A = this chain, B = another copy of it.
Amino acid sequence: MNIAILGLGTVGTGVAKIVEGADAMTKAADLHVSHVFVRPEKADASKRLTSDYDAILNDDDVDAVVEVLGGIEPAHSMILDALRHQKHVVTANKAVVARYMEEFVQTAKDNVVQFRFEASVAGGIPWITNLERTLRIDSINSFHGIFNGTSNFILDQMTKTGASFDSILKQAQDLGYAEADPSADIDGYDIENKLCISLDIAYDTLVHPGDNLPKFGIRTIQAQDIDFFKQQGWVVKLIGRSVRHGDHFSYVIEPMLCRAGSIEASISDNFNYASLHGDSIGELGFMGQGAGMLPTAHAVVQDLLDVKCSNEHLDRCFGKTLQLDNRSDEGTYWVRTSAAQFKELAKAWHPVEHDGYFKVEDIDAQSMHDLMKELLLIDANAFMARESGGVD
């Protein structure tokens, strides 16, 4: 099978590396990189490195296009063009998938080709594949996970060393784990894309980034917070989770207090963990590399092999109109703030002070996140975390 790779960044390079270095005994050896789409100044005289996308689209020998450009445009248009030219498309681009899932899936159907995006969520972990597989039998009742390796690295290092957020963030940037502008990782935007894609598949519905989805990151966490919670037997993790009740589902991204000794607490460094709960399978969790050149490229190549083997993709029409409802998702939160006004703001939930932290019980996620939005206007350094207890 001939493939064209759009973009020769980290993941694109990894895909070429795996395909071209494939052991002849493996299925990966059946793939061939016929074109790589690059910027005009990187194109060469051979047709292999080219900046002429029309040539790729009109080449009947190209069976599949791998989109690893990242970002919204031109990725969105180029994916649609490829599908309309009856090319299968595999992408690792979470932002564009989260935003245009329905359009891509429908266009692929209309053109009788496959659209696959395993690498867009949790990197090398076969999360989408196993989620779809579980759905062949079960309804998904809930899922949750550590979907961002950079923030997990920061929290893990803070927990292990006692160092400050700023010094560990700096270290993560030096290691190449975090961007110069780290907001996508530490404010939950990266997780939001991954959770939207997971939700679309898990519940056969459509949720888009920005659809008023509550997220609270780890930007304001301090070494003292890690230490305070540790003394109570908790480990802080940034968790995305969703629970379904009939036609309603909750969806929240927030720091959670996981019991020391729990599987979530054990996820170290920049690893990811994703777990689902199904009717008959019960709890099923997956741990692995959520990013990195080879693990992510591995997931892309797996998609290509599924295309090649004509393995069926789970049919999703996104027709279920589930209601987002974070009002019924109640729990216990801990808040650190220097703002004297917090007691007044949160008085409906009778916050109780313990060693400089407020414990707020029986509050729903929506109200808690709304409250924190108000609080951050007064105290930009405020932090909150939720007791796990009922992670799923």
Contacts and interface: CB of A to CB of B under 8 A. Distances in A.
Looking at A14, A280, A281, which has the most chain B CB atoms within 10 Å of its CB?
Answer: A280
Contact of A281 (B130, B266, B294): B294
Interface in A246-298: 260-263, 265-267, 271, 275, 278-289, 292, 294-295, 297-298
A226 interface: no
Interface of A: 14, 18, 22-23, 26-28, 124-126, 129-130, 133, 135-139, 260-263, 265-267, 271, 275, 278-289, 292, 294-295, 297-298, 301-302, 305, 309, 311-312
Contacts of A262: 266
A284 B287 contact: yes
Contacts of A294: 279-282
A233 B287 CA distance: 23
B138 A298 contact: yes
A285 B288 contact: yes
Contacts of A261: 260-261, 265-266
Contacts of A266: 261-263, 265-266
A232 to B, nearest CB: 16
A238 to B, nearest CB: 18
Contacts of A265: 261, 266
B284 A26 contact: no
Contacts of A286: 284-287
Given A261-B266, A281-B124, A312-B309, A137 B22 contact: yes
Interface of A, secondary structure class, is: mixed
A125 B285 CA distance: 9
Q: List the number of copies, as a whole number.
A: 2
Contacts of A267: 263
A136 to B, nearest CB: 4
A203 B218 CA distance: 43
A292 B281 CA distance: 10
Contact of A135 (B22, B26, B279, B285): B26
A137 B284 contact: no
B287 A137 contact: no
A137 B288 contact: no
A354 to B, nearest CB: 25
Contacts of A136: 26-28, 302, 305
A374 B88 CA distance: 62
Looking at A14, A260, A271, A288, which has the most chain B CB atoms within 10 Å of its CB?
Answer: A288
Contact of A288 (B26, B282, B305): B282
B295 A124 contact: no
B297 A288 contact: no
B263 A124 contact: no
21 contacts: A26-B136, A26-B137, A27-B137, A125-B284, A126-B130, A126-B284, A137-B298, A137-B302, A137-B305, A138-B298, A261-B261, A261-B265, A280-B294, A280-B295, A281-B294, A282-B288, A282-B294, A283-B287, A284-B287, A284-B289, A309-B312
Contacts of A302: 133, 136-137
A8 to B, nearest CB: 18
Contacts of A281: 124, 288-289, 294-295, 298
A298 B136 CA distance: 10
